[in-house]
């Protein structure tokens, strides 16, 4: 007998985001958790095939940058350009990964950028990862109001974190105004002993500048004055095999 026809599969687009690069780079906790949630969702929804993974590492969702210039923005732009098939599903770990904007703005984006164009969304941590289309949104008011409440909660949490961050910045400003020195990372162009990593100073106690790093900075400024953007400057510095900033706990790249 002939084999049964293959079942058509819908496409899934994963969106992952962390507010800090540390979550994405050092301990990997944020990204690993989202990857595990995505894998579990795909196992539970075999009718979907993963098309692409969109990642915004170190991008806050409080002001909407992620959906205008970030990876989420690329999905939205592709959808509006007709490059994403109807019925595709955007898979996200939680509502807060999607947006921490004011609930009205977040809701308008969810409806206008995802559901109304004919796509669906699934939050792996909400309603057991239920696929939410425009039809489901209109048919299940309980699910709808729960999502709206989750968007409100995500915004409140962002505002609280923002207030704490601003409070810390104001404290540092007060200490500086009082003449107290704030602990800070040493710029990478300051010389250090290659073995002990201690900062080098001249006889007067002033920091010594690393001449190679200084030349790299001068080169970057030269390229910028010539009209080159940051991406091309970084590429040029790498092609010229300029030394990378020797930093700790940060990206070791331009």
| pLDDT > 60? residue 3 | no
CA distance 12 to 39: 12
Average pLDDT of span 173-193:
70
- Higher-confidence position of 197 and 34: 34
Token match 């009205």: residue?
104
The pLDDT tens digits of the residues spanning 50-72 come to 999 999 888 888 888 899 888 99
Closest to 18 (Cα-Cα) out of 89, 74, 96, 73: 96
Q: What integer pLDDT is reported at residue 96 of this predicted model?
A: 93
Token match 């709808």: residue?
144
| pLDDT > 90? residue 10 | yes
Q: What integer pLDDT is reported at residue 251 of this predicted model?
A: 46
SS (H, E, C) the chain: CCCCCCCCCEEEEEEEEECCHHHHHCCCHHHHHHHHHHHHHHHHCCCEEEEEEEEEECCCCCCCHHHHCCHHHHHHHHHHCCCCCCCCEEEECCHHHHCCCCHHHHHHHHHHHHHCCCCEEEECCCHHHCCECHHHHHHCHHHHHHHHHHHHHHHHHHHHHHHHHHHHHHHHHHHHHCCCCCCCCCCCCECECCCCCCECECCCCCECECHHHHHHHHHHHHHHHCCCCHHHHHHHHHHCCCCCCCCCCCCCCC
The pLDDT tens digits of the residues spanning 93-144 come to 999 999 999 989 999 999 999 999 999 999 999 999 999 999 999 999 999 9
Q: What integer pLDDT is reported at residue 23 of this predicted model?
A: 54
The pLDDT tens digits of the residues spanning 209-253 come to 989 889 999 999 999 998 888 888 888 998 998 877 755 544 444
Q: What integer pLDDT is reported at residue 182 of this predicted model?
A: 58
């Amino acid at each position: 007998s002939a084999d049964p026809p293959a079942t058509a599969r819908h496409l899934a687009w994963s969106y992952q985001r962390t507010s800090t690069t540390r979550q994405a780079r050092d301990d990997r906790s944020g990204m690993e958790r989202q990857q595990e949630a995505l894998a579990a969702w795909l196992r539970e929804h075999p009718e979907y095939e993963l098309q692409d993974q969109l990642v915004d590492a170190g991008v806050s969702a409080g002001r909407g940058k992620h959906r205008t210039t970030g990876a989420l923005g690329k999905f939205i732009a592709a959808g509006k350009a007709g490059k994403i098939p109807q019925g595709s599903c955007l898979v996200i770990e939680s509502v807060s990964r999607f947006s921490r904007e004011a609930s009205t703005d977040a809701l308008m984006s969810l409806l206008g950028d995802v559901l109304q164009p004919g796509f669906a969304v699934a939050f792996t941590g909400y309603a057991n990862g239920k696929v939410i289309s425009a039809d489901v949104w209109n048919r299940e008011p309980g699910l709808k109001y729960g999502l709206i409440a989750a968007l409100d909660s995500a915004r409140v949490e962002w505002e609280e974190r923002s207030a704490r961050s601003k409070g810390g910045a104001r404290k540092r400003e007060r200490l500086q105004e009082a003449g107290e020195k704030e602990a800070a990372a040493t710029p990478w162009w300051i010389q250090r002993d290659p073995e002990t990593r201690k900062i080098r100073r001249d006889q007067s106690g002033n920091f010594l500048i690393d001449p190679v790093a200084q030349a790299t900075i001068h080169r970057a400024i030269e390229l910028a004055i010539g009209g080159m953007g940051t991406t091309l400057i970084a590429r040029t510095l790498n092609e010229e095999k300029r030394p990378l900033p020797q930093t700790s706990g940060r990206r070791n790249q331009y």
